[in-house]
Copies of this chain bind each other. A is one copy, B any other.
């Protein structure tokens, strides 16, 4: 409602170039009155081709990103050089390619001015004589939003020549691939929609009067097929396209095209975001456990050696552990005299240990000093700090004398960690880990008489690569 009132205020011309848009970005009013068998066949073909082109796009983006990663690693100078060359290439294409297009006489009876004067507007004059416009310039020398709106529009189906659309499609497709991954903020969504919309419009023009559907709708469906072929997110793309276009009756067609293009593209490779996650080496846990995990138990994949602390631990040991490992969680084990037998007390986090050590509430003797420690801290001291703001190990100053002292870990121990028995099926442990969003899962022994904890499972232990290193015969090659 706030947006609406601001838009209404700006429509009065009080905000300069702002406030031109509406709540619906691309209002596609092409009535989907009737469609017959030929239209449905055309849709299927759009979906299949969109899927093929989309998976090719992913393949090329992947290759280009790997190349750019090598270039970007060489230093800032190379980064800037890369950005500059891509920018210059883009500028050359945007300015140079329109010279290839022929001048088209302005259609009569338009509400808009043709050719347009100034920066906004859809009928760019470019090099053409008066009363004519250059259709390729209208696409290239426009904001992306306006270009998409032009492609989606169904008012003037001959506005763009088919050769123009082909050139534009080729240009946008290639520029989109080489632009993503350079050191400027640039997305995938708009380039993909642009390429898809021009592809769909080419398709619609090529079909001509064979189909009842108009070119604007074909353009929308082409965009959907490209989005399905690259992003592979069917539901969210449906919603986004619905919100952009405000036409519920188009939804079944969009859904059909999306499903087909996603299915076709899935044969060849993964979605573009999955590719990027994998390339960055992020340990992404799938929602479902892999089938081979059923043949393993939790104890099989625990990577050791396990580092654990006593309930009251020597400061030196903690500092040593923090310094020479990168573990984020350490199990705490209560030992005699604080308990009869060694037993698992809980788990402490690296960040909490740093805060505790920084507080310097150490004791000379090995005694419980929990209440004393708690008085020193507020709950807020242990609150999760903002990114990059927390205590770092390097900030810690511990004297040699303090290293020999003791600190009671009980106040900062999470005494209710989730645990699984070592003989628990790995698949079930993975479901537990993923569903509860854990970072550490304690594995406890089945038989008594051993250490009260066998290991800690982290996200990395569930990764395909880790398990296939340990059990190459069990894990199918991917």
Q: Tell me the A residues contacting B by CB distance below 8 Å.
A: 1, 4, 8, 23-24, 34, 40, 242-243, 246, 248-249, 252, 256, 297, 340-341, 343, 415-416, 418-421, 423-425, 428, 431-432, 435-436, 446-449
Instruction: Show 15 residue pairs from A and B whose CB-CB distance is below 8 angstroms, ordered by the A residue.
Output: A1-B252, A23-B249, A23-B252, A243-B248, A246-B249, A297-B416, A340-B447, A341-B447, A343-B446, A415-B423, A416-B425, A416-B428, A419-B419, A419-B421, A432-B436
Given contacts A1-B40, A1-B256, A343-B446, list 17 more A-B pairs with CB under 8 A.
A1-B252, A23-B248, A23-B252, A24-B248, A243-B248, A246-B249, A248-B248, A297-B416, A340-B447, A343-B447, A416-B424, A416-B428, A419-B419, A419-B421, A432-B432, A432-B436, A436-B436
Partner of A246, one of B248, B416, B419, B436: B248
With both beta carbons as reference points, the residue of chain B lying nearest to A243 in the complex is identified as B248
Whole-angstrom distance from the CB of A404 to the nearest CB of chain B? 32
User: How many angstroms from the CA of A435 to the CA of B419 in the assembled complex?
Assistant: 15
In the complex the two chains form, is A418's CB within 8 Å of B423's CB?
A: no
Residues of B within 8 A of A340 (CB): 447
Residues of B within 8 A of A343 (CB): 446-447
Residues of B within 8 A of A4 (CB): 252
Whole-angstrom distance from the CB of A465 to the nearest CB of chain B? 24
Whole-angstrom distance from the CB of A162 to the nearest CB of chain B? 29
Residues of B within 8 A of A297 (CB): 416
* Given A1-B40, A249-B24, residue A419 in contact with residue B416 (CB < 8 A): no
User: How many angstroms from the CA of A436 to the CA of B418 in the assembled complex?
Assistant: 13
Residues of B within 8 A of A34 (CB): 8
Whole-angstrom distance from the CB of A410 to the nearest CB of chain B? 13
Partner of A416, one of B242, B415, B423, B435: B423
User: How many angstroms from the CA of A341 to the CA of B297 in the assembled complex?
Assistant: 21
Whole-angstrom distance from the CB of A285 to the nearest CB of chain B? 15
Whole-angstrom distance from the CB of A11 to the nearest CB of chain B? 11
